[in-house]
Structure 1
Amino acid sequence: MTDIKAVVRIEHPDIVLTKTVTHDQSSKVKSVLEAGTDPTSGKFFYRVQSADFRQFEDGLRNDHTIGEFERVIETRDEKAIYSFEYTDEAKVISPIISTANGVILDMENDGNGWILTVWMPDRTNLAPLWDYAEQHDIDIDLLRVNEYASLGTTDAGLTDSQREALLVALETGYFDDPRNATLSEVAANLDISQPAASGLLRRGTKRLIVSSLMDDSENSNGYDRERH
């Protein structure tokens, strides 16, 4: 079996936050992958860059896909982290990818559309995403796809502990959206502390992203230091 990394562009007015980013063309929105979803509150976290957060929030108030929202953190460089709750009208792609045993590595807006970088255990696992898009009249384009050796056998810069932690998290549903397992449950399965599990997942995810998204010359430039 060969893992793949696919870069996909999707567009539909009912996809989460589309109306907001169309209203605020200066905004750039990326999901906070390490935060994921709080399974009890249903909150989703995003990094937002905007020249005018008042305009961005005006867009949120008039966005039929967004319910409650909160600006959690704001920095001085026109960036902030927001938490959002989705409405029933929102079309959400992440559960479809999770059901297909995939993981979203990156997600950012592109005008009226969204660019998703997705890891899948096999090319055929992309089929449910295309089926969902066809059923809901979502425009979808495959921009590129790369194949890699399986996570279970490839090095990808991972230590044995990082690989084991990632596989346990994947199998228990920690990467599902919404999550079906907590960090403490992953830690219990690994028989380690919760902070230790968090560190392994964070560093392992970083290594996978570096391995998948950068070429060999970039991989070797400064990233080999974090191997523990």
Structure 2
Amino acid sequence: MATITDFQVPIEQFALADTFARIPDLYVEIERFAAQESASAIPFVWVTSDDFEAFEAALSDDPSVDSYTALAEFDDERFYRMNWVDEVELVVHLLLEEEGAITQARSNGDTWSLQVMFPDHDSLSRTYEFCEENGLALTVDSIYRLDNEDKTQFGLTESQYRTLAEAKDMGYYDVPREATMSELADSLDVSHQALSERLRRAHGNLVDRALSASNAKQEERGERQSVRKPD
């Protein structure tokens, strides 16, 4: 049964530690990873900063980053595609060896907070052993198991979750896509129309959760800024 785990990793044992050390008031949230067969993972990252020139200068010197490309900019946020060096082993282990899905990954410089969906509890156990063997300090905050209740903690029904999981496995979300809507429908033994409606509802639920998380992030950042303001 699939298992969801929230855990933390020290900033210096994951990625961007040098960048966080140099840039104050930095917030990083990874939207998704693209796993590569060459045992590497490419993160797509939202960054909130007051000084992107300084941020990119720090990023260029960060030993955990091989290269980066700015893809979009909105007010005080930018969207980046980054190539992390092979030493960021935990992500590679999660994505390629345990077939996990990193559903959340964010940091404001203290630790990296990750939420990972494992295909089963054994995968979680192996990941914990991997961290111990490689000297990684993984702190588990919570563990959930998906069951047959109507809703999961992602706001998805069980059928929506299974559909998204199958779509991910078949490469429906890859760029370019490795599976068509018709192929996905055949695999799930549902009609094209039923699949389209299920995906729309699932995506809508995930967007609702993402917007709620984004609002919480903005509120947290506003609170940090208010604390720094002089009387």
Can you list the C-alpha shifts for 1:127-154, whole angstroms capped at 9, x where unaligned? 22222212322111112223331xxx44
Q: Counterpart of 2:14 in structure 1: which amino acid?
A: I
Can you list the C-alpha shifts for 1:8-44, whole angstroms capped at 9, x where unaligned? 01125352222212221311111113xx428599643
Maintained 8 Å contact 2:170/2:178: no
RMSD over aligned CA atoms reads 3.4
Structure 1 gaps, min length 5: 214-228
| Aligned twin of 2:219 | none
Can you list the C-alpha shifts for 1:29-75, whole angstroms capped at 9, x where unaligned? 11113xx4285996431000012112211210111111221221111
Distance 1:39 1:121 in 2: 19
Maintained 8 Å contact 1:12/1:139: no
Maintained 8 Å contact 1:5/1:146: yes
SS of 2:146's equivalent in the other structure is strand
* Deviation for aligned residue 1:121: 3.6
Distance 1:185 1:71 in 2: 28
| Aligned twin of 1:83 | 81
SS of 1:13's equivalent in the other structure is helix
| Aligned twin of 2:227 | none
Identity %: 19
Distance 1:100 1:140 in 2: 16
Q: Counterpart of 1:9 in structure 2: which amino acid?
A: Q
| Aligned twin of 1:31 | 30
Distance 1:174 1:12 in 2: 32
Q: Counterpart of 2:53 in structure 1: which amino acid?
A: R
Q: 1:37 to 1:54 in 2, by over 3 A?
A: same
* Aligned with 1:155 (options 147, 150, 156): 150
Q: 1:201 to 1:69 in 2, by over 3 A?
A: farther
* Deviation for aligned residue 1:162: 3.4
SS of 1:139's equivalent in the other structure is coil
SS of 1:165's equivalent in the other structure is helix
Maintained 8 Å contact 1:166/1:204: no
**Which has the bigger relative contact order, CA under 8 A and spacing at least 6?**
1
Give the structure-1-normalised TM-score: 0.69
Structure 2 gaps, min length 5: 186-191, 214-231
Distance 1:159 1:130 in 2: 29
Q: 1:65 to 1:168 in 2, by over 3 A?
A: same
Q: 1:184 to 1:122 in 2, by over 3 A?
A: closer
Maintained 8 Å contact 2:11/2:109: no
Give 1 or 2 for the bigger CA radius of gyration: 2
Distance 2:42 2:143 in 1: 30
Count of matched residue pairs: 196
Distance 1:132 1:173 in 2: 27
Q: 5 Å matches for 1:4-43?
A: 4-11=3-10, 13-33=12-32, 36-37=33-34, 43=42
SS of 1:183's equivalent in the other structure is coil
Can you list the C-alpha shifts for 1:86-134, whole angstroms capped at 9, x where unaligned? 223x314233223323221211114242110122243332122222212
* Deviation for aligned residue 1:206: 4.5
| Aligned twin of 2:113 | 115
Q: 1:93 to 1:186 in 2, by over 3 A?
A: farther
SS of 1:16's equivalent in the other structure is coil
Distance 2:36 2:178 in 1: 13
* Deviation for aligned residue 1:7: 1.1
Q: 1:106 to 1:154 in 2, by over 3 A?
A: same
